[in-house]
Structure 1
């Protein structure tokens, strides 16, 4: 029952945040507004970054809540939250100061579910763990860690160059 509650809470919050980005629901800004924000914090191209983050959060959140393809869902959500945490790092830890507390908490919960598994009250369990094999956990988390390192690293270099007065883009849109 505990894993079900954790999956529903974490997955629900992630899916809602993703829906803000993708559809403008729940007071969000949709792809257009989120894309502009992504550009402003160094994730380019903005619309593609907004789409990727929105899909990882919405898809990962829904799949986590259902307990389906849990390793991939948790890894995707953790990667998106690592990207969000990178943006908030300069503001420190606490969310009330604009810090990375919220993103880190969601990302760690999602990664924890990827590693622990969804529990008995899940679609993965009902389907005989077809999408939840032991080898999938290190594969999903490893691929996500590598992709996140590349994307966040490029973003951090771009932001650093802009702060130093260089306007050269690392990637062209």
Structure 2
């Protein structure tokens, strides 16, 4: 019998897939790699979506996706990594939600799938084929899961709530302008 089982291999594949995709998206935001806008372009896009200040929002999103994704792929600090990535995907879903669920219509399907995968890995843990396991799970303790999700939820609610308020106020201002004409 080997020291690794199917579960460990499955978790490794999930971590590499979801973590790799998240890390690539973060690299687009932070560095402009893979056709991304970098901090300047992503910052401008974030401003247009209601996330202000744009450059700080791009940095936070890039670090959450890029850092969280890289750590998930490595299986290191898995509760924090998964929670951070999931929080970033909630923020992305908030922008995409008006377009409906399915990605082919611009919806939040893809962001929700990545976020749920990251959250599931944070809760389940990385398995034995991970740096967390190699390091004796010092950064992967059971108590870290609710703490990581609690901190991430508070930050995500504050950021998305402020963004939604800005978008709502801007829409109300546009409606007033239309009625004034």
TM-score tier, shorter chain, comes to over 0.9
- Give the number of the structure whose alpha-carbon radius of gyration is greater: 2
Q: 2: CA distance between counterparts of 1:95 and 1:30?
A: 23
User: Aligned-pair distance for 1:39?
Assistant: 0.3
Match of 2:31 in 1: 23
Aligned to 1:47: 55
RMSD: 0.7
Partner of 1:121: 129
1:139 lines up with 2:142 in the alignment: no
State which of 66, 70, 73 in structure 2 corresponds to 1:65: 73
| Count of equivalent residues | 166
Task: Give the corresponding residue for 2:92.
Answer: 84
Unaligned runs of 5+ in 2: 1-8, 175-181
Shift of 1:37: 0.4
Match of 1:7 in 2: 15
Measure, in 2, the Cα distance between the counterparts of 1:147 and 1:22: 20
In 2, Cα distance between equivalents of 1:151 and 1:23: 23
Structure 1 segments of 4 or more deviating over 3 A? none
Q: Map Cα deviations across residues 76-131 of structure 1 (whole Å, 9 max, x no partner).
A: 00000100000000000011110000100000000000000000100001110000
2: CA distance between counterparts of 1:111 and 1:84? 15
Q: Which residue of 2 aligns with 1:158?
A: 166
State the partner residue of 1:32.
40
Q: Unpaired runs of 5+ in structure 1?
A: 167-173
Alignment deviations for residues 22-68 of structure 1 (CA, whole Å, 9 cap, x no partner): 01000101000000000001000000000000011110000000000
